Amino acid sequence: MCRFLPIIQPMSERKVRVRFAPSPTGALHIGGVRTALYNYLFARQHGGQMIFRIEDTDSNRFVPGAEEYILESFKWLGIPFDEGVSFGGDHGPYRQSERKAIYKKYVEQLLEADKAYIAFDTPEELDAKRAEISNFQYDASTRTMMRNSLTLPKEEVDALIAAGNQYVVRIKIEPNENVVVNDLIRGEVIINSTVLDDKVLYKSADELPTYHLANIVDDHLMEVSHVIRGEEWLPSAPLHVLLYRAFGWEDTMPAFAHLPLLLKPEGNGKLSKRDGDRLGFPVFPLQWKDPKTGEISSGYREAGYLPEAVLNFLALLGWNPGNDQEVMSLDEMVKLFDLKRCSKSGAKFDYKKGIWFNHIYIQQKSNEAIAELFLPVLKEHGVEAPFDKVVTVVGLMKDRINFVRELWDAAGFFFVAPTSYDEKTAKKRWKEDSGVCMTALAEFLNGLEDFSPQNQETAVMAWIAENGYHTGNIMNAFRLALVGEGKGPHMFDISSIIGKEETIARLKRAVEVLK
Ligand code: GLU
């Protein structure tokens, strides 16, 4: 008979499970989108799962609509989660406010193991201490002076609780110990525990844990293998390591990776919403309306970015594939991504590069797909055109634009006749004899059977030669008549697309107006 021995899996072979765990405090910052993207790339590459968890234990900062906004953002971006709020899964509930009972149990566990203690100090008492002791911090050096379960007899603690006094539970941090955070991007980060304070883990007032406790308990219960998050969370990491230890979960502690900050496009410091307002780029994936102030902030979607371009742009803010390849599909990024190639130093938010990516992705998309996106813009201008025509115009014009809506300025003349003629161009290009010549050209074109660009070109060139006209003068006036100014693609592409009838009508109108 064959018997199986249980195999203890070494850390490196642990099933990859990552999480994106935003707090629903408003619109999702673009840095958060990058964090989620890196989690996604990492999970996909390792055949793992990505969890969507809502960290809403701080009810004061809860903003209605934020959760829906975040979900919609990832839907637009094309980043799916495997598990979590709105996705389901067997590690739920995934909203921390729905996990109260779970946390309570773990708070008890820490108290029983003497890794945490109960503290009754009121805000006033704490303020008084802060006034008395400069740089006061609740820790091993001060906790003996405070009102807590370490200084009060057990009966008194029980009596205070029974009488309904509010309290908090604090972690008991032992001083003078080097805490090592092994970060996959930063290497070993060592902090002496003496600098850490006895952070609050739980508040009786709302029976809710703080971020630190809920975050660790959930990462443990949800079997998270890697915590990939923004640099702003690095200062919390030593406390988190100590919490894993206090629970006795060292063996399954996730690996950490703290991503570099996103920096201002120019100057020093963290990218802020104000930089976006000042320089004219969004810092949120979707437009956001603040439910309190009504203030509207622009979003990448509404500004006309393609989601693929946003993802490609963000992927390279803090990571590179090791060569100078810049344009990568999501699938390619999944293959190439490597936490080891993430930088420690901040990444400048070069929003112009984002615009460049949008241009590139517009070129990569089919003319049909871009035409679909252009239809609503046409509609805004009261234009309804046959889809085939829109597709043809897009094909001819998309290399000139960075955003789909720019197609209107670049190519609107394909759909509506000019209502006026650019003065400067008219002065320069509408000559003495232009009226006569354009009337003759209209007549000539009217007689053409085949209105294809090639045939028009051959015929018109021959007609010009025969009549001894000046090619430049004819073509310039022709363009002015059809476009209203001196811009646009090849002349006979324009006339062919707008058609014989419309071409002739525009010629006649120009002759009339410009005489
Ligand atoms: N709730 C935290 C946030 O809003 C999550 C931090 C973490 O990933 O540990 O970003």
Q: What is the pLDDT of residues 140-174, one digit of tens each?
A: 999 999 999 999 999 999 999 999 999 999 999 99
Same domain, 450 and 498: yes
- Residue 320: inside a domain, yes or no? no
Q: What is the DSSP track for 304-364?
A: T--HHHHHHHHHTSSB--SSS-----HHHHHHH--GGGB-SS-EE--HHHHHHHHHHHHHH
Q: What is the mean pLDDT of the chain?
A: 96
Query: In the beta sheet, which residues pair with residue 49?
Result: 17
- Residue 332: inside a domain, yes or no? no
CA of 22 to the centre of ligand 1 (A): 5
pLDDT in tens, 325-366: 999 999 999 999 999 999 999 999 999 999 999 999 999 999
Average pLDDT over every residue of 220-243: 97
Contact in structure between 95 and 254 (CB atoms under 8 Å): no
pLDDT in tens, 186-213: 999 999 999 999 999 999 999 999 999 9
- Report the CATH number that the domain containing residue 115 is assigned in CATH: 3.90.800.10
Q: Answer whether the bond into residue 321 is a cis peptide, omega within 30°.
A: no
Tokens representing residue 434 in the block: 């232009």
**For 203, what's the count of Cα atoms within 13 Å in the CB-facing half-sphere?**
14
- Residue 471: inside a domain, yes or no? yes
Q: Is the dihedral of CA 310, 313, 317, 320 positive or negative?
A: positive
Q: What's the pTM? A: 0.92
The pLDDT of residue 13: 73
CA of 284 to the centre of ligand 1 (A): 17
Contact in structure between 409 and 378 (CB atoms under 8 Å): no
**For 56, what's the count of Cα atoms within 13 Å in the CB-facing half-sphere?**
21
Which atom from ligand 1 is nearest to the alpha carbon of 55?
1
For the purposes of burial, counting CB atoms within 10 Å of the CB of 489, is it exposed (0-12), middle (13-18) or buried (19 or more)?
A: middle
- Report the CATH number that the domain containing residue 502 is assigned in CATH: 1.10.10.350
Q: Is the per-residue pLDDT at 285 higher than 60?
A: yes
pLDDT in tens, 373-415: 999 999 999 999 999 999 999 999 999 999 999 999 999 999 9
- Residue 133: inside a domain, yes or no? yes
Question: 3-state DSSP call for residue 226?
Answer: strand
Could you list the beta-strand ranges (E) of 28-94.
49-52, 83-84
The residue annotated as part of the active site, out of 270, 273, 487, 500, is: 273
- Residue 59's pLDDT band (cuts 50, 70, 90): confident
Same domain, 224 and 182: no
Work out the percent of the chain whose per-residue pLDDT is above 90: 96
The pLDDT of residue 2: 45
Which atom from ligand 1 is nearest to the alpha carbon of 25?
4
- Residue 12's pLDDT band (cuts 50, 70, 90): low
Q: Is the per-residue pLDDT at 1 higher than 50?
A: no
Which atom from ligand 1 is nearest to the alpha carbon of 229?
8
Q: Is the per-residue pLDDT at 452 higher than 70?
A: yes
Q: Is the per-residue pLDDT at 237 higher than 50?
A: yes
- Ligand 1 neighbours, Cβ below 6 Å, are 21-23, 55, 215, 229, 233
Task: Choose one of 54, 233, 261 to mutate for the ligand 1 pocket test, by most ligand atoms within 8 angstroms of C-beta.
Answer: 233
273 classed as catalytic: yes
- Residue 389: inside a domain, yes or no? yes
Average pLDDT over every residue of 38-65: 96
Task: Choose one of 229, 232, 243, 244 to mutate for the ligand 1 pocket test, by most ligand atoms within 8 angstroms of C-beta.
Answer: 229
**For 103, what's the count of Cα atoms within 13 Å in the CB-facing half-sphere?**
28
Same domain, 18 and 117: no
- Residue at which a domain ends, from 176, 211, 246: 211
Q: What are the strands of the beta sheet with 116-119, ordered from one edge? A: 116-119, 168-171, 200-203, 208-209
Provide the number of structural domains found in the chain: 4
- Residue 400: inside a domain, yes or no? yes
The pLDDT of residue 253: 97
Range of the domain at 510: 423-514
Same domain, 406 and 478: no
Same domain, 79 and 220: yes
Contact in structure between 172 and 115 (CB atoms under 8 Å): yes
Q: Is the per-residue pLDDT at 469 higher than 70?
A: yes
